[in-house]
Amino acid sequence: MTLTLPPEVLDAGFSLEHHAEIGSTNERALACVLEGRDRVWVVADAQQAGRGRHQRHWHSPPGNLYASLGLRAPCEAEYLPQFGFVAGVALAEAVLALAPELAGHFSLKWPNDAMLDGRKCAGLLLEGTTLPGGGSALVIGMGVNITSLPEALEQEAALLPGLTRDGLFAALTKRMLALIALHGKGTGFDTVRARWLGHALPLGTRMRVRLPSGERHGVFGGIDAEGHLLLGTGAGQETILAGDVFLV
C-alpha cells in the first residue's frame, strides 16, 4: 500500500516519494534536494544499499521503517549537526505517543541511536552537502526496527513492539514538522536539547567511546550546550566531539 503524508504535513510544504525498493533513501533524498526540491520525504519498503555511519552497510529487509528527509538550507551550516537531536526527539515522541507503555524502556543514545532496554532499535544518519550557488542541504536518514533485526551489528538489537511502519511514519512526520519549527534554524536548540536529554539514557550509564585515537571508558554525563557528549572518567569529565558509543 502506498504511503501518504498527514494533511497538516502536506500543507506545510512536505512531499513524499514511496519506493517499493531502492538503493538508498538517503541517496535519493540527496538527489532530490540537489534537483531543487525541499522538505521531501523518501521512504522505501526495502533498501539494497542502505548505510549507517562511516558508510557501514545497513541491512534493510521489508517491514521496517526506512525514511529520509531532504532539506534545502534549513539553517546555517554550523547548526546542521543539531538536526540529529531534532530527529531523535521527533522519533522518541512519535514512538511514545503510539506506545506509551515503552516509557522507561525507550531511550536515546548519543549521537544518533535509539535504544530499547539497552539494545539498539533505531539509527539516524545525517549527511550534508553544499548546494550549487552556495548554501547547505541536509538529509536525515532513519532506520527503525519494527519486524526484522539488522544483521552483523556490533551491539545487540531489538524490535519496537506494538508499532506498524505506516503508523510510525505518520506520527514521525508530524513530530518532525513540529520539531523543525521548534528548532527555529538554531534559535530553539536549547529547548530541543532539553527535550533530548529528557529521553536520553540515564546519567551515569556506563559506556565506552571509540575515537580515532583509541577508546575512552566512562559514564554518561549528558551533553553540553553545543550537543557534544560529556563523558565522566577517572580523570574528570571529557568533552567528546564525535565518536561511536557502546554501552558497557
Looking at the fold, whether 68 and 171 belong to one and the same domain comes out as yes
Q: What is the pLDDT of residue 54?
A: 43
Q: What is the pLDDT of residue 133?
A: 83
Q: What is the pLDDT of residue 155?
A: 78
Ranges of the chain with pLDDT below 70: 1, 50-59, 151-153
Domain boundaries, position 195: 7-199
Q: What is the pLDDT of residue 59?
A: 60
Q: What is the pLDDT of residue 153?
A: 65
Q: What is the pLDDT of residue 113?
A: 96
Q: Is residue 2 part of a domain?
A: no
Looking at the fold, whether 221 and 169 belong to one and the same domain comes out as no
Sheet of strand 206-211, all strands in order from the earlier edge strand to the far edge: 236-240, 229-233, 214-223, 206-211, 244-247
Residue 57 DSSP one-character state: B
Looking at the fold, whether 86 and 135 belong to one and the same domain comes out as yes
Q: What is the pLDDT of residue 89?
A: 98
Beta carbons of 105 and 209 less than 8 angstroms apart: no
Q: Is residue 11 part of a domain?
A: yes
- Looking at the whole model, is its pTM more than 0.85? yes
Looking at the fold, whether 81 and 156 belong to one and the same domain comes out as yes
Looking at the fold, whether 218 and 121 belong to one and the same domain comes out as no
Q: What is the pLDDT of residue 211?
A: 93
Looking at the fold, whether 25 and 129 belong to one and the same domain comes out as yes
